[in-house]
Amino acid sequence: MSKKIIAVLMIAVLAFSLVACTDSGKSDEGKTDEGKVESDLKVAMVTDVGGVNDQSFNQSAWEGLQQAEKDFGVKVSYQESHQDADFVPNLETLVDAENDMIWGIGFKLGDAIKEAAEKNPDTKYGIVDFSYGDKTPENVVGVVFKAEQPSFLVGYIAAKMTETGTVGFVGGMEGDVIWGFDYGFHAGVAYANKVNGTDVKVLRQYAESFNDAAKGKAITNSMYQQGADIVFHAAGGVGDGVIEAAKEQGKWAIGVDRDQNYMAPDNVLTSAMKRVDQGIYLIVKDLADGKFTGGETVVLGLKEGAVDIAPTSDKHVPKEILDEVEGLKKDIIDEKIVVPVNEKTFEEYLETLE
């Protein structure tokens, strides 16, 4: 047996044996069946203004760190941002705490992470939903998701299941990340219209916020009044209001980032999952193994199992529609369907449906 194969087997055995147990997820040591496993690694994150309990991508990110603590014994923590002005001081706090790696959760932290990375070249950084392209600092790794792909799938589901012929999209703040959800959803509806000979319309409104749940509720109620019976949100904490409106009105909402059915089991039809937890977990796993993909941006989609529709979708979505969705997933992975990510690519996509 070659030395290379032996080394791979040894790594696999070690990775399998590192299991941790903690209640808080912040600083307890990892454990195995034989006792505690200590790690010198400290990994922390700074949330965006949605907060760590946004039931969306900040919470998903924290869950990824907590899982990494359990599996690899790294010590994890977070700093919560309540306004954009908190980003820089929160990052400085985590540097002062001598963290080995610091994450910025969300594209709004793009400038702050780059500035911090340049000031602290010996500290590793990660950022979710942002890419610096070929200008990525060597001590920074970006993680971005093909959010347009699960959005296409839930758009198709919405178009197939609407009883009024009108569905809605509530966005947080306009920009590349949310446009992916927006135009992916529109493309899924357009595809369903094409193959089913329907004319489902999409209402769209942005909240210009990621934490104003009251505004999300007001927008959604307005969409329901305009005839929508299914509303998809990609808006962080704003989405709490979207789901609350669905509960009160007896309508459907579509969740985002995590499986949000638990928030309203009878009213969340499905969710467009973006596995921020998995993206962070994989990078921290590499770090624990002595590897770091600095200077690069990691792109994750359906092919990598990092995006999908929620596993609870079968509670409300008929099997025949879910079977069709499985076929669409394969077509997206095989690039027979290239899902648009912004207005320009959406217009180009529509031409392919003519």
Question: Tokens 């076929």 identify what position?
Answer: 327
pTM: 0.83
* Strands across the sheet containing 124-128: 75-79, 42-46, 101-105, 124-128, 140-145, 296-300
Task: For residue 184, give its domain range.
Answer: 148-273+308-352
184 lies in the same domain as 157 = yes
What SS3 state is found at 47?
coil
The answer as to whether 283 is a domain residue is: yes
- Nearest alpha carbon to residue 205 among 222, 230, 190: 222
pLDDT on residue 354: 86
**Are 122 and 267 within one domain?**
no
CA separation for the pair 228, 129 (Å, rounded): 30
Q: Which of 79, 91, 145, 151 is nearest to 123 (CA)?
A: 91
Domain count, the chain: 2
Q: Are residues 97 and 108 in the same domain?
A: yes
Report if residue 105 sits inside a domain: yes
Q: Tens of pLDDT along 177-204?
A: 999 999 999 999 999 999 999 999 999 9
Please check whether residues 201 and 330 belong to one and the same domain.
yes
Residue 86's nearest CA partner among 140, 48, 127 is: 48
Of residues 241, 242, 235, 300, the one with CA closest to residue 274: 300
In the prediction, which pLDDT does 270 show?
98
Q: What is the pLDDT of residues 133-181, one digit of tens each?
A: 999 999 999 999 999 999 999 999 999 999 999 999 999 999 999 999 9
- Tell me: the pLDDT tens digits for 260-306? 999 999 999 999 999 999 999 999 999 999 999 899 999 999 999 99
pLDDT in tens, 45-98: 999 998 899 888 899 999 999 999 999 999 999 999 999 999 999 999 999 999
User: Which tens digit of pLDDT belongs to each residue from 306-316?
Assistant: 999 999 999 99
Task: Reduce the DSSP state of residue 127 to 3 states and report it.
Answer: strand
Euclidean distance between CA atoms 18 and 284, whole angstroms: 14
Q: Let me know if residue 33 belongs to a domain.
A: yes
- 161 domain residue, yes or no: yes
Please tell me whether residues 179 and 242 are part of one structural domain: yes
pLDDT tens string 22-45: 333 333 444 444 444 567 899 999
Task: Let me know whether 345 and 214 are in one domain.
Answer: yes
Tokens describing residue 289: 């193994």
Segment 239-254 mean pLDDT: 98
Helix (H) or strand (E) holding 153: helix 148-161
pLDDT digits (tens, 9 = 90+) for 251-260: 999 999 999 9
What is the rounded radius of gyration, in angstroms, for the C-alpha atoms of the chain?
21
Does residue 268 fall inside a structural domain? yes
Residue 14 clears pLDDT 80, i.e. is over it: no
What CATH number should be reported for the domain holding residue 323?
A: 3.40.50.2300
15 lies in some domain:
no
CA atoms within 13 A on the CB side of 129: 25
Q: Is the dihedral of CA 325, 326, 332, 336 positive or negative?
A: negative
> Using an 8 Å Cβ cutoff, are 46 and 105 in contact?
yes
- Secondary structure class of 147 (helix, strand, coil): coil
